[in-house]
Structure 1
């Protein structure tokens, strides 16, 4: 899975004891079912957090830079931080069970950049800027192409855009509690005499 992926580590002694217990008490099919249920829960939880613009730690994502926020509000008014077209970053999340491992992540190329932050190098390039020409003068203000009657080719120099980290993958405290509950329910469901 390309894009972004996280690994969650817990206290080794506790995890080893719990995993040993699960391995003994659940069949391989039971463990796969448990991991699938945990994965489905984490998909929903991660999407819900992304819609609220929260990290797994409950911190609000850093706001958009003012200039970009102004530009985006003109292009896509009311659209949240990590959404531009039709998809929110959490919409491109997937899960996969491989043996006794649950993998979660996204193949969206920007998934890792949003999770960890990134420096994006923009090479020098040509662009066309638009102005309005009236009464023998060109206004110094840029206008959109539809309102323009004068265009000029310019070279935009190479530059770097720093994308701040906005963590969206991970396990919150609420998620950890739910994982314990799901595990307990699966284990109780496999105990002799337990109600199905």
Structure 2
């Protein structure tokens, strides 16, 4: 029930040949992949704070029911006049962050790196439903909208290309060089 993003750089045609040359030279791409994974994790956390998906679109706002629950449910509202909130309730819900009620999902974001692959994700059981959306709750009566937080943005893609180019330029002999 976790959500993750796997990115196999060695499978990209323009990078595969460089990875092969690196392997022939007896060098590991793991330091490069570690750097990229760290940058992707920071980028994902930044998008999380901005409440945006990898394409830059804002996440769907919290539902009224979620805001009501975060405000303390029935306990947070005035008994006689439901429109009057108890002191502090409106302040509590007015600045409500999406997917950050407990901060557990955000704090669970992690990366795993092998010699050819970067895996970024979360092991929190509800991570997948927030990434992809779907039906949840008793009887699957609640629709949770997709709020993608994992993915590679255009900026991330540029960062990966630059990191790969710099890494290989520093480690692999240039063609035609003595």
TM-score bin, normalised by smaller chain: 0.7 to 0.9
Residue 25 (str. 1) matches residue 6 (str. 2):
no
Q: Which has the higher contact order (CA 8 A, sep 6+)?
A: 2
TM-score (norm 2): 0.75
- Cα shift at 1:28: 6.2
Q: Which of these residues, 164, 178, 183, is aligned with residue 159 of structure 2?
A: 178
3-state DSSP of counterpart to 2:112? strand
Q: Is the 8 Å Cα contact of residues 23 and 31 (structure 1) preserved in structure 2?
A: no
Q: Is the 8 Å Cα contact of residues 100 and 106 (structure 2) preserved in structure 1?
A: no
Please identify the structure whose Cα radius of gyration is greater: 1
- Cα shift at 1:95: 0.7
3-state DSSP of counterpart to 2:143? strand
Q: Which of these residues, 67, 76, 96, is aligned with residue 69 of structure 1?
A: 67
3-state DSSP of counterpart to 2:28? helix
- Cα shift at 1:59: 0.4
Which of the two has greater strand per residue? 1
Which of the two has greater helix per residue? 2
Unaligned runs of 5+ in 2: 72-88
Map 1:3-18 → 2, pairs under 5 A? 3-8=2-7, 15-18=12-15
- Cα shift at 1:3: 0.6
Q: Are residues 40 and 88 of structure 1, via their aligned partners in 2, closer, same or farther at CA, if it must alter by over 3 Å?
A: same
